[in-house]
Copies of this chain bind each other. A is one copy, B any other.
């Protein structure tokens, strides 16, 4: 873990520094006044301003302003870094093919340029993903519904892989689609695609249930599930249990008969909006 830093270097000095860092496989940051040009899947231009540029030895590059989590420009891993001096400017270029893309950062002034030797062997351990939710259901299928029996995960269908395929207490086929967050219409559509695929596979005589599992559901999605004859079960991905309700107060006894009362499940929510297609 060493750092090699130049302050207000000449472009030539920065260039030498950069090329040595690329050679060593260091991670690099450059801070200075620059413009940015991107051409690839789309095309963008960014006028002069102060930005922090990060170059990683895996070929990724990030251009960060002082706002937002998302870089204003970037390239993903696999690109080739290069640097040069032209017309009194330091040009840092990142290119790749397939797709053909080019990112140019032109510095009129470099305030600081650092090269970092990185040693990092630790892997991130993360809890609370959709995969965790799946494990909860597989280890205790009754949380989904009494008598539910998982038969296969990632079961292939014409419409793609089904998260959990199983059958209910009556032996009816059940498609289970899992989401770690509050779900919107797109999740309902996704479930519908899978149920449709199994109908095509099994024939229309065979009943197929579709169950969407998530901590909560938006009203529009709940309406759609109703119309399409699909079901919703509220489970928290971290605990594998029904989320803590807040208001509601009508925790009736249970029984969960056919629920048609209209509303069904509350909104609870995890405090975040829902994602969607795309």
* Chain A contact residues, CB within 8 Å of chain B: 1-3, 5, 7, 27, 29, 31-33, 35, 40-52, 54, 56-58, 60, 62, 64-69, 71-77, 98-100, 109, 111-112, 114, 116-129, 158-160, 179-181, 185-187, 189-190, 192-193, 220, 224, 237-238, 270-272, 275-278
Q: Which residues of B contact A112 (CB under 8 A)?
A: 3, 5, 114, 116
Contact flag A48-B127 (CB < 8 Å), given A186-B186, A189-B189: no
A124 touches B72 (CB 8 A): yes
A60-B68, A69-B74 known, 12 other contacts, Cβ within 8 Å: A1-B111, A3-B7, A31-B114, A43-B128, A43-B238, A44-B124, A48-B122, A50-B118, A73-B124, A111-B116, A179-B278, A277-B278
A3–chain B nearest beta-carbon distance, Å: 5
The reply to whether A270 and B67 contact each other, CB–CB distance below 8 Å, is no
Whether A122 lies near B32 (C-beta < 8 A) is: no
- B72:A66 contact, CB within 8 angstroms: no
The answer on a CB contact under 8 Å between B76 and A69 is yes
Known: A3-B31, A76-B69. A278 touches B46 (CB 8 A): no
Q: Once bound together, how far apart are the Cα atoms of A206 and B72, in whole Å?
A: 46
Write out the residue numbers on chain B whose beta carbons fall within 8 Å of the beta carbon of A52. Answer: 27, 29, 54, 116
C-alpha gap A186/B158 in the complex (Å): 14
User: How far in angstroms is the closest Cβ of chain B from A157?
Assistant: 11
- Contact of A65 with B99 in the complex, beta carbons under 8 Å: no
Among A45, A71, A116, residue most surrounded by chain B Cβ atoms (within 10 Å): A116
